[in-house]
Structure 1
Amino acid sequence: MEELARTWWVYLIRGLCALLFGLLALIWPGITLYALVVVFGVYAIANGVFELFSSGRGGARSWMVVSGVGSILIGAAVLLWPGITALVLLLLIAAWAVVVGILEIVAAIRLRRVAAGEWTFVVSGALAVLFGVLLFLWPVASAMAVLWLIGVMAILYGISLVAMAFRLRGVGFHRPGTSERPHPV
């Protein structure tokens, strides 16, 4: 848990990026497909890089590495083929969300043995899975509805990551059994 507490700021950055992505999708719903492709591709790569950086050591490490590499590969695929159709883009985003969500839930189950508060991983993972499943169920939804769905999901996901970041930061400040408060990183 101390390893995660030292990298609390990584979750904060991931959450803020998700919030920014979600707000942009809601503020400019008329965004072109090309711009959405680029924004999503960059976000998925950044999310994967930060997830790899925060994977640390321990039982959940391998799942977080797989999730991070998967995010980077999906983001790269989206950027390499910017002329992708809306349906294929939606299916890539749906697959990415389901895989990342499942891997975060698996990591939470592994973390419950060493730390309380793993529910934040479960919530963010469950939101990602729910979002992916909804996209798979209704892939022909209008572009406006999809942009709103993507925006709302990204905002909720970002809020859960920001909450987790501050929870982890609090763990770093209060070490059980001591009165010392370590200097924040």
Structure 2
Amino acid sequence: MTSIPSTDNPKTEAMNDMLANNWWAVALRGVVAILFGIAAFAMPMVTMLSLVVVFAAFSFVDGVFGIIAAVRGARKGERWVWLLLNGILGVAAGAVAILYPDITVLAFVILVAAWALISGTFMLISVYRLKIDHGRLWLAIGGIANIVFGILLVISPFIGALVLTFWTGAHALVLGGTLLVLAYRLRSHRTGLPSNLATSGAA
């Protein structure tokens, strides 16, 4: 029987500290997701090609930030397998969308559903190694949002481009919002100080 990793062991402490020091990468991922969501709602009659291109850019940039955080963690001797895989997944999904811009609606739905389900699973796996006061709840919400979005796409693969645009935009806004809150929680712990002192820049 496998046990949930304790958040008090040295490796987990180091992982939490490194994630807190890279809060800006989480924040940038949140900003990119929100911008993507706004773009989706601002262009409700967007063509399928435009939606694919915008998703490709979002997924690619999100993946790059994930890989950067993983590499920075690896330099400190930590194993950031799930974060790295999540980043690689984002880059791969973006690359597929870029290489096949004339992808059909059904193929695009399958691609996005796979990305959302796998990414959400990676996020939920990482939840157990993040401290509660570092924003574990928000990471869990982000993972659940991805999985719910992926399930919706799986059970409704033949939705129209317009509905897909709204669904994708709503998901991006929710995910971006949770990542920004998570980044704020992480930022308050980057120096190991209490939240009220760290956010005010006190020594």
Q: Could you say whether these structures have the same fold, taking a TM-score greater than 0.5 normalized by the shorter chain as the test?
A: yes
Match of 1:21 among 33, 36, 45: 36
Partner of 1:161: 179
Aligned ranges for residues 87-166 of structure 1 at < 5 Å? 87-112=106-131, 116-166=134-184
Partner of 1:75: 94
| Structure 2 unaligned blocks of 5 or more | 1-15
Partner of 2:20: 5
CA RMSD of superposed structures (Å): 2.1
Question: Cα offset for 1:70?
Answer: 1.1
Question: Cα offset for 1:111?
Answer: 2.7
1:126-155 Cα shifts (integer Å, max 9, x gaps): 100100110011011222211111110000
1:93 and 1:132 in contact (8 A); partners too: yes
1:108 and 1:121 in contact (8 A); partners too: yes
TM-score, with structure 2 as normaliser: 0.82
Note closer, same or farther for the CA distance 1:182–1:159 as it changes in structure 2 (3 Å cut).
closer
Question: Cα offset for 1:10?
Answer: 0.8
Q: How many residues align?
A: 180
1:69-123 Cα shifts (integer Å, max 9, x gaps): 11111110110011110110011001000000000000112334x9653122111
2:188 and 2:198 in contact (8 A); partners too: no
1:172 and 1:182 in contact (8 A); partners too: no
1:173 and 1:181 in contact (8 A); partners too: no
Q: Distance in 1 between matches of 2:92 and 2:161?
A: 24
| Structure 1 unaligned blocks of 5 or more | none
Note closer, same or farther for the CA distance 1:182–1:155 as it changes in structure 2 (3 Å cut).
closer
Q: Which amino acid aligns with 2:183?
A: A
Indicate whether 1:175 and 2:181 are aligned: no
Identity in percent = 31
